[in-house]
């Protein structure tokens, strides 16, 4: 079969090439790839900045935002041939740490977890892949190719849960939610917060293109410009840009008692704020700043429920481009109007 592979930490090493059929030890469920979403992590791995091949291998099969169709459910999965499934990305560390021991691999404390398509396990950008039954999530069949949005939605399911859980420390419920960044994660965050019935605002740099319309179609309000200039004090901010100035402004803008949840991974960035001044505001307003990454099985379940409830026509507008696997280079390039680019292996 063919797969999109990369030699981690080596730029321009990505290839669409022949590889062996998936090893039976990778799981008893055999799946035919339908589509794989491309995200910033894939681009970083392809650029040689990140990623680890499986032990004893030089190359890694790329891809972690999967969608596939079951070819062989194996003896004990409860799945049927033809079911649409998505593969969970992270596996617990082998020690395991206390969190991995109780199934909270998203909160792994020793960093020895592995991740499909990222860290030491082959990903999903191959014509066929295998998965352990307990890591295969069945997708509502009516979603079709939109099931490829499940993995990014799990990031949001966890982030929103974190905000709600932190909020339980006092008499508090978020009414107004600000999402910074209108990429796939930001738009899915806005969609999720609207499903909870919140007043939602989304801020992004662009003033034209599909993003303002997509936000409006959710019944949310779109803003461009800076967080500092917004005419509102959000109770919760879901930060999805990883941009220093946006993050710094978010700490200033959050309402008293409010929660800032950071989901973006960026670097650098300076702000005009002095650290102790920021801290003083956080103290005096009882704010919480919480980081959130990855997702465990509970979040995968919640995300699949949320995706099944979301408007199909709206979700379909998030997939702005579909490329064939042999055109992977095009898929790894960003154009200004791209939201989610997927590599399509077969019809959903
Ligand atoms: Zn762990």
- Give the pLDDT confidence of 214-272 residue by residue, as tens digits: 999 999 999 999 999 999 999 999 999 999 999 999 999 999 999 999 999 998 987 77
Give distance in angstroms: CA of 89 to centre of ligand 1.
14
> In the block, which residue shows the tokens 């978010």?
250
Give distance in angstroms: CA of 53 to centre of ligand 1.
19
Give distance in angstroms: CA of 238 to centre of ligand 1.
25
Residue among 209, 212, 234 at smallest CA distance from 222: 212
Does 170 score more than 90 pLDDT? yes
Give distance in angstroms: CA of 226 to centre of ligand 1.
38
What pLDDT score was predicted for residue 272? 79
Give distance in angstroms: CA of 39 to centre of ligand 1.
24
Give distance in angstroms: CA of 149 to centre of ligand 1.
26
Give distance in angstroms: CA of 57 to centre of ligand 1.
23
CA distance 190 to 180: 10
Does 151 score more than 90 pLDDT? yes
Classify the C-alpha dihedral 207-212-213-214 as positive or negative: positive
Give distance in angstroms: CA of 290 to centre of ligand 1.
19
Does 44 score more than 80 pLDDT? yes
H or E element in which residue 128 lies: strand 128-131
Give distance in angstroms: CA of 294 to centre of ligand 1.
13
Give distance in angstroms: CA of 282 to centre of ligand 1.
30
H or E element in which residue 330 lies: helix 328-331
SS3 content of the chain, % helix, strand, coil (to 5): 35, 25, 45
Instruction: Work out the pLDDT band at 273, boundaries 50, 70, 90.
Output: confident
Q: What is the residue-averaged pLDDT of the chain?
A: 96
What pLDDT score was predicted for residue 108? 98
Give distance in angstroms: CA of 304 to centre of ligand 1.
24
Does 89 score more than 90 pLDDT? yes
What pLDDT score was predicted for residue 337? 84
């Amino acid at each position: 079969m063919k797969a999109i592979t990369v030699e981690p930490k080596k730029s321009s090493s990505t290839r669409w090439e022949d590889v062996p059929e998936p090893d039976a030890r990778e799981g008893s469920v055999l799946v035919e790839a339908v589509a794989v979403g491309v995200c910033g992590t894939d681009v970083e791995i392809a650029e040689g900045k990140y990623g680890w091949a499986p032990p004893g291998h030089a190359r890694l099969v790329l891809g972690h935002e999967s969608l596939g169709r079951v070819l062989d459910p194996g003896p004990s999965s409860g799945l049927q041939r033809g079911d649409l499934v998505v593969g969970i990305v992270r596996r617990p560390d082998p020690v395991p740490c206390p969190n991995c021991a109780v199934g909270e691999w998203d909160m792994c404390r020793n960093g020895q977890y592995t991740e499909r398509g990222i860290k030491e396990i082959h990903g999903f950008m191959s014509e066929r892949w295998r998965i352990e039954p307990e890591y295969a999530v069945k997708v509502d069949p009516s979603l079709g190719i939109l099931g490829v949005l499940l993995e990014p939605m799990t990031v949001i399911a966890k982030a929103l849960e974190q905000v709600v859980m932190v909020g339980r420390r006092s008499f508090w419920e978020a009414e107004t939610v600000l999402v910074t960044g209108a990429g796939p994660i930001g738009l899915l965050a806005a969609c999720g917060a609207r499903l909870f019935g919140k007043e939602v605002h989304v801020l992004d740099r662009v003033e034209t293109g599909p993003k303002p319309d997509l936000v409006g179609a959710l019944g949310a309000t779109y803003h461009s410009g800076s967080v500092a200039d917004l005419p509102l004090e959000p109770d919760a901010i879901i930060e999805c840009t990883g941009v220093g100035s946006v993050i710094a402004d978010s700490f200033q803008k959050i309402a008293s008692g409010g929660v800032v949840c950071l989901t973006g991974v960026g670097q650098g960035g300076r702000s005009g704020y002095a650290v102790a001044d920021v801290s003083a505001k956080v103290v005096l307003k009882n704010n919480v700043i919480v980081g959130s990454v990855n997702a465990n099985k509970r979040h995968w379940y919640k995300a699949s429920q949320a995706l099944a409830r979301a408007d199909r026509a709206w979700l379909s507008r998030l997939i702005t481009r579909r490329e064939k696997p042999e055109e992977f280079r095009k898929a790894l390039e960003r154009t200004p109007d791209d939201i989610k680019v997927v590599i399509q292996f077969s019809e959903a």
